[in-house]
Amino acid sequence: MDLSLAGLVLLRGAEVYAPAALGQQDLLVSGGKIIAIAPHIEGERLPGCEVVDLHGHLLCPGLIDQHVHLIGGGGEAGPHSRTPEVAFSRLVEAGITTVLGLLGTDGITRHPESLLAKTRALEHEGITAYMLTGSYALPSPTLTGSIARDLVLIDKVIGVKCAVADHRSSAPSAARLAEMAAQARVGGMLGGKAGISVFHMGNSPRLLAPLYEVLRDSDVPITKLLPTHLNRSEPLFAAALGFAHDGGCLDFTSGIEQPIDAATAVARAVAAEVPLARLTVSSDGNGSQPVFDAHGNLTGIGVAGFDSLPQALRHLVQRHHFPLAEALQPFTCNVAAFLGLAAKGALRPGYDADLLVLTPELAVQQVWAKGKRVVDQGKAITKGTFE
């Protein structure tokens, strides 16, 4: 072992979930990476090593939230209803160590350039951040003039987003949707990225028909298409189960509680024989939560938080009786695999030291991002630049 490594930290005695259950282990961190995991590591013999006693706690991978409105969302009630940018502390206090930013309804007064700047700001403040190009509407607003160029040339861009089956979408044609997904696919291949297409799903009775049109009119694999908000209605959830049985991945939104909360959606999908590896959960955090009447008129609006994400994890264990090793997967390794993040979502030597420390009741106790403690006793001890 190289004892010259800087910033040695030994996390001692926690019950480790990698997310597989490893039992009581010590975990050694240096330079933002996990160096070793073993039943006992002599930290006192390592020069300058900080030893943190975690006996009685659970140590897991940090959560990966793949659907966050980093620069705000909303605007459905006019300029005053645009939600503000997210604060660093709100993310980490929810156990989030990696985040994927995107635009929403408003791709006019909000821009991919601003989103890129925010992802870089969050990286500087201490967590890992990526983004999707595009917004609800097609043609997609981009940084370089095309979706494929964004993925190839901009390090932080790993895919594209649009809205379908929603009265706020641009009612894209099947051909335009297929072209979008194909550009993301090729751009991802050339740029060494996931090349994913994320589809905001609304309440339209068209359900998942737009995604099947993409599959019909292109050669993009189903594994590169991600419909989200699939727990917003019973008909959409039922259609999602069919999409998963066809080989697709599903994303449930923890900020949606009715008619199906995210934990219940995961439990029901698994009961319907959908492989757990095809399921992910994201928050839709910092986005607006508009309420529309039957005629599409806005009747109310709020802002989505982030506490729903660790809450959904708790509910999977406490209400639906999932083992923690399984419950963690839609929040960690499954997301990392879909996004193509090779060193994220698991606790292994050589992986990023993004760590979540939970109490036995599964409350967030500490968060370590890139090997640095950013949350202690459930509160952020590192703040964003302007907090």
Distance from C-alpha of 329 to C-alpha of 102, rounded to nearest angstrom = 22
- Set 106, 284, 352, 354: catalytic member: 284
pLDDT (mean) for 184-206: 97
Residue 1 is predicted with a pLDDT of: 42
Least confident of 76-85, 169-178, 286-295, 340-349: 286-295
Residue 4 is predicted with a pLDDT of: 46
The CATH number linked to 40 is 2.30.40.10
252 and 358 together in one domain: no
Annotate 338-364 with b (16+ C-beta within 10 A) or e (fewer): bbbbebbbbbeeebbbbbbbbeeebeb
Beta bridge partners of 24: 15
134 is in an annotated binding site: no
Identify the CA nearest to 60 among candidates 301, 365, 384: 365
Least confident of 17-26, 238-247, 262-271, 296-305: 296-305
111 and 38 together in one domain: no
Determine the structural domain holding residue 195 and report its residue range.
Answer: 63-339
pLDDT (mean) for 79-88: 88
pLDDT (mean) for 117-128: 98
Question: What is the average pLDDT value for the chain, to the nearest integer?
Answer: 94
* pLDDT over 50 at 191, yes or no: yes
Q: How confident is the model at residue 5 (pLDDT cuts 50, 70, 90)?
A: low
The answer to whether residue 387 sits within a structural domain is: no
The answer to whether residue 219 sits within a structural domain is: yes
Least confident of 36-45, 93-102, 276-285, 306-315: 36-45
Q: How confident is the model at residue 160 (pLDDT cuts 50, 70, 90)?
A: very high
245 is in an annotated binding site: no
207 and 81 together in one domain: yes
55 and 91 together in one domain: no
The answer to whether residue 385 sits within a structural domain is: no
User: Between these two residues, 98 and 107, which has the higher pLDDT value?
Assistant: 98
pLDDT (mean) for 94-98: 98
288 is in an annotated binding site: yes
Distance from C-alpha of 213 to C-alpha of 158, rounded to nearest angstrom = 23
* pLDDT over 70 at 6, yes or no: no
Q: How confident is the model at residue 128 (pLDDT cuts 50, 70, 90)?
A: very high
322 and 359 together in one domain: no
Reported as a single tens digit per residue, the pLDDT across 148-157 is 999 999 999 9
Residue 3 is predicted with a pLDDT of: 43
15 and 161 together in one domain: no
125 and 136 together in one domain: yes
* pLDDT over 70 at 290, yes or no: no
Distance from the first to the final alpha carbon of the chain: 39
Q: Is 360 helix (H, G, I), strand (E, B) or coil?
A: coil
Q: How confident is the model at residue 210 (pLDDT cuts 50, 70, 90)?
A: very high
The answer to whether residue 386 sits within a structural domain is: no
205 and 267 together in one domain: yes
Q: What is the DSSP string of 45-106?
A: GSTT-EEEE-TT-EEEEPEEEEEE-TT--B-TT-GGGBPPPPPHHHHHTTTEEEEEE---S-
Backbone phi and psi for residue 241, each to the nearest 5 degrees, phi listed first: -60, -40
247 is in an annotated binding site: no
Whether 251 is a known active-site residue: answer: no
Q: What is the DSSP string of 199-234?
A: EEE-S-TTTTHHHHHHHHHS---GGGEEEE-TTS-H
48 and 175 together in one domain: no
83 and 49 together in one domain: no
216 and 124 together in one domain: yes
Q: Where are the beta strands (DSSP E) in the chain?
A: 9-17, 21-30, 33-38, 50-53, 58-61, 63-68, 96-101, 128-134, 157-164, 196-201, 225-228, 250-253, 279-282, 291-292, 298-300, 355-358, 364-369, 372-376, 379-380
165 and 266 together in one domain: yes
Q: Provide the domain count of the chain.
A: 2
The CATH number linked to 119 is 3.20.20.140
45 is in an annotated binding site: no
